[in-house]
């Protein structure tokens, strides 16, 4: 009765939260299983950023609830953003859910499962449900345990929770609460421990990492707390690569740009959400920067690192977005030459300012604009990959590829590479010469003199 299956929807932050929940459950004697058909407990860690993400989880929960008819002891829980967003209301649509746990209470999941199971053991007849979506001071410090696969090379580290930006379209300030940072020492210690366990690449996670520690630490010599944190992680010998997500253009100041010139482990891949290339729409979105300022950051970064890779988030069809507004987005999107992008069709989120705006854009127009950007992205990505053929890239070997034919790793620019290698090279940085490419994957050969393939 202790097999737990966790299904995660949404962003890397959610994945990290699920991993921490899994680690805490394991420590409590639960088994984390990969097969949803053999579990006694199913936890859905949910996303609210678009309606579709919520509907997917609700659909899944409705379907899984059928299991309770066959097995009344089966436990179904909804965790994370949608739990926070909808709370006990979820029980109206999903009366068979046993557990609803918000984003500040992940660390309570083991206790709550223990309690539910104890109630079952005691033969409680009435359904026992637990709903906890309260705020909790210090909850940003509770996402710290890791479950590492054997020889896991990359890891996410949560540095901050919540966001105070109030972008007009975004539900996150409601689901994740106020911006709170973890102490720098704690984060650095966690990275050191991960390095001791074999991790070589760290991705620092937060909703707005460029604001990290702004209320807790002072700038030293014009260096923001976030860059101070990068410096400290850069100094950990076992860590070979650092990434982070997501920064805000407003906080992407000169000290961070300069960091790319001096912190050798900071990978030349920046995910910089643009959202829109129209100043009018940026204002309506309550995004405090202009297209010109955004372009300046991209250009400055390319000056420091000519080989910089960029990815972005775009919302098409924000209320009131005209053909001209979209044309501005298309033009800037093209000019920035993104290597990767996440394009979203605007989705009304109840409770956000933009939900109240007139001038909602019809679905077919959103879809058309979506397709325009996706086609551009594919062209940009193909163009980038074509330039990589014949070059030798530094690759961090992560492990066997999915098909089990060879090995896979990533370049510093976050391109996936497949190549023949040896198990001993997992966790090593190796030179790989790129021989051929597809849109999504590079195929290469190891360039190691005297090393057996
Ligand atoms: N509709 C569509 N996309 C959204 N995002 C956030 N809120 C919405 C919304 N209401 C996108 C933004 C953000 C990413 C995580 O999700 O682009 O950067």
pLDDT, one tens digit per residue, over 33-81 is 999 999 999 999 999 999 999 999 999 999 999 888 888 899 999 999 9
Mean of pLDDT values over 1-13: 96
> Does the residue 363 lie in any domain?
yes
Evaluate: CB of 344 within 6 angstroms of ligand 1: yes
330 in a domain, yes or no?
Answer: yes
Residue 452 resides in a domain: no
Contact status, residue 194 vs residue 155, Cβ threshold 8 Å = yes
Write down the pLDDT at residue 451. 54
Tell how far the Cα of 247 is from the centroid of ligand 1, in angstroms.
14
Instruction: Mark whether 146 and 233 lie in a shared domain.
Output: yes
Number of domains in the chain: 3
**311 and 254 within one domain:** yes
Same domain, 240 and 316: yes
Q: Are 119 and 195 found together in one domain?
A: no
Residue 193 shares a structural domain with residue 128: no
Residue 246 CA to ligand 1 center (angstroms) comes to 13
pLDDT (0 to 100) of residue 1? 78
Looking at residue 69, what is its pLDDT?
Answer: 84
Final residue of a domain: which of 94, 111, 132?
Answer: 132
Distance 209 CA to ligand 1 centre (A): 17
Domain end (from 387, 404, 422): 387
* Residue 427 scores a pLDDT above 60: yes
Nearest CA to ligand 1 atom 16: 49
- Does a structural domain hold residue 453? no
In ligand 1, which atom is closest to the CA atom of 275? 17
Model pLDDT, residue 97: 96
- pLDDT for 121 equals 85
Which pLDDT score is estimated for 67? 85
Strands (E), 321-406: 340-345, 392-400
Q: At what angle do helices 291-304 and 323-336 cross, to 10 degrees?
A: 10
Q: Is 49 in the pocket of ligand 1 (CB under 6 A)?
A: yes
Give yes or no for residue 30 CB within 6 A of ligand 1.
no
Task: Give the Å distance between the CA of 369 and the centre of ligand 1.
Answer: 15
Confidence of residue 19 (pLDDT cuts 50, 70, 90): very high
Ligand 1 centroid to 316 CA: how many Å?
10
Question: How does pLDDT run across 21-31, given as a tens digit for each residue?
Answer: 999 999 999 99
Q: Please, which pLDDT band fits residue 450 given cuts at 50, 70 and 90?
A: low
Q: What is the CATH number of the domain that holds 432?
A: 2.40.50.140
Q: Say what the pLDDT of residue 123 is.
A: 80
276 and 148 part of one domain? yes
Ligand 1 binding pocket includes 275 (Cβ within 6 Å): yes
Check residue 449 and give its pLDDT.
65
End-to-end CA distance of the chain: 45
* C-alpha torsion angle, residues 79, 83, 84, 89 (rounded to 10): -160
Model pLDDT, residue 128: 83
pLDDT of 453 > 60? The answer is: no
Q: Which of 273, 318, 344, 355 is the pocket-test mutation for ligand 1 (most atoms within 8 Å of CB)?
A: 344
Q: Give me the domain span that covers residue 442.
A: 389-446
Residues 222 and 363 in one domain: yes
Among 14, 48, 50, name the best residue to mutate to test ligand 1's pocket (greatest count of ligand atoms within 8 A of Cβ).
50
Atom 17 of ligand 1, nearest CA residue: 313
pLDDT for 452 beyond 60 = no
> Which of 210, 155, 181, 150 lies closest to 12, judged by CA?
155
**152 and 229: one domain?**
yes
| 160 Cα–ligand 1 center, Å | 19
In a domain, 343, yes or no: yes
Check whether 127 has a pLDDT greater than 70: no
Residue 68: the pLDDT is: 85
Is 307 a member of any domain? yes
Ligand 1 atom with least separation from CA of 352: 10
H/E stretch holding 314? strand 309-316
Cα 49 to ligand 1 centre (Å): 6
- Asked whether 316 lines ligand 1 (CB < 6 A), one says no
Are 279 and 408 members of one domain? Answer: no
Report the C-alpha gap between 360 and 357 in whole angstroms.
7
The proportion of the chain whose per-residue pLDDT surpasses 70, expressed as a percent, equals 98
Integer Cα distance of 429 and 263 in angstroms: 17
The DSSP-derived string for 108-139 is GHHHHHHHHHHHHHTT--SPP-EEE----TTG
Residue 59 — left, alpha, or beta (φ > 0 → left; ψ -120 to 50 → alpha)? alpha
Mean pLDDT of 283-290: 98
Is residue 165 predicted with pLDDT exceeding 60? yes
Same domain assignment for residues 56 and 164: no
Shared domain for 31 and 110, answered yes or no, is yes
- CATH, residue 34: 3.40.50.12160
Name the helix (H) or strand (E) containing 365.
Answer: helix 363-388
Mean pLDDT of 281-310: 98
| pLDDT over threshold 80, residue 11 | yes
Residues 6+ apart with CB under 8 A from 67: 42, 74, 76
Do 311 and 416 reside in the same domain of the chain? no
Gap from CA of 126 to ligand 1 centroid (Å): 40
Is 416 inside a domain boundary?
yes
Atom 2 of ligand 1: nearest residue by CA position? 346
Q: Report the pLDDT value the prediction gives residue 8, as an integer from 0 to 100.
A: 98
Answer yes or no: is 155 within a domain. yes
Return the SS3 of 238: coil
pLDDT at 72: 87
169 in contact with ligand 1, CB cutoff 6 A: yes
Assign residue 217 the CATH number of its domain: 3.80.30.20
The residue among 98, 132, 166 that closes a domain is 132
Phi, psi of 393 (to 5 degrees): -110, 145
């Amino acid at each position: 009765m202790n097999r737990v299956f966790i299904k995660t929807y949404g962003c890397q932050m959610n994945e990290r939260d699920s991993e921490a929940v899994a680690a805490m459950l394991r420590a409590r004697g639960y088994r984390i299983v990969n097969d949803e058909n053999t579990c006694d407990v199913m936890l859905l860690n949910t996303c609210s950023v678009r309606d579709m993400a919520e509907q997917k989880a609700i659909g899944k929960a409705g379907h899984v609830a059928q299991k309770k008819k066959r097995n009344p002891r089966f436990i179904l829980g909804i965790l994370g953003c949608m739990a926070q967003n909808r709370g006990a209301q979820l029980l109206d649509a999903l009366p068979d859910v046993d557990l609803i746990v918000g984003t500040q209470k992940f660390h309570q999941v083991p206790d709550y499962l223990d309690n539910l199971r104890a109630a079952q053991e005691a033969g409680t007849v009435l359904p026992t449900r637990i709903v906890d979506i309260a705020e909790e001071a210090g909850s940003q410090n509770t996402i710290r345990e890791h479950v590492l696969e054997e020889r896991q090379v990359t890891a996410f580290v949560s540095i901050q929770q919540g966001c105070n930006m109030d972008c007009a379209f975004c539900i996150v300030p409601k689901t994740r609460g106020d911006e709170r940072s973890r102490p720098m020492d704690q984060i650095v210690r966690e990275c050191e421990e991960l390095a001791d366990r074999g991790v070589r690449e760290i991705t620092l996670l937060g909703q707005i990492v460029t604001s990290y520690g702004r209320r807790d630490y002072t700038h030293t010599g014009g260096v923001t707390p976030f860059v101070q944190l990068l410096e400290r992680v850069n100094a950990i010998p076992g860590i070979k690569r650092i990434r982070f997500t997501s920064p805000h253009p407003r906080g992407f100041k000169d000290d961070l740009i300069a960091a790319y010139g001096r912190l050798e482990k900071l990978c030349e891949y920046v995910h910089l959400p643009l959202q829109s290339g129209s100043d009018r729409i940026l204002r309506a979105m309550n995004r405090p920067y202009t297209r010109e300022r955004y372009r300046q950051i991209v250009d400055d970064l390319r000056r420091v690192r000519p080989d910089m890779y960029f990815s972005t988030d775009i919302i098409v069809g924000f209320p009131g977005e005209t053909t001209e507004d979209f044309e501005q987005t298309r033009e800037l999107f093209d000019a920035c030459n993104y290597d990767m992008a996440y394009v979203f069709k605007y989705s009304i989120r109840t409770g956000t300012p933009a939900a109240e705006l007139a001038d909602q854009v019809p679905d077919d127009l959103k879809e058309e604009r979506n397709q325009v950007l996706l086609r551009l992205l594919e062209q940009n990505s193909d163009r980038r990959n074509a330039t990589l053929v014949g070059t030798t890239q530094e690759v961090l070997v992560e492990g066997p590829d999915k098909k089990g034919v060879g090995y896979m790793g990533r370049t510093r620019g976050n391109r996936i590479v497949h190549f023949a290698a040896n198990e001993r090279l997992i966790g090593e940085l190796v030179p790989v010469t790129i021989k051929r490419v597809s849109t999504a994957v590079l195929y290469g050969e190891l360039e190691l003199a005297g090393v057996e393939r």
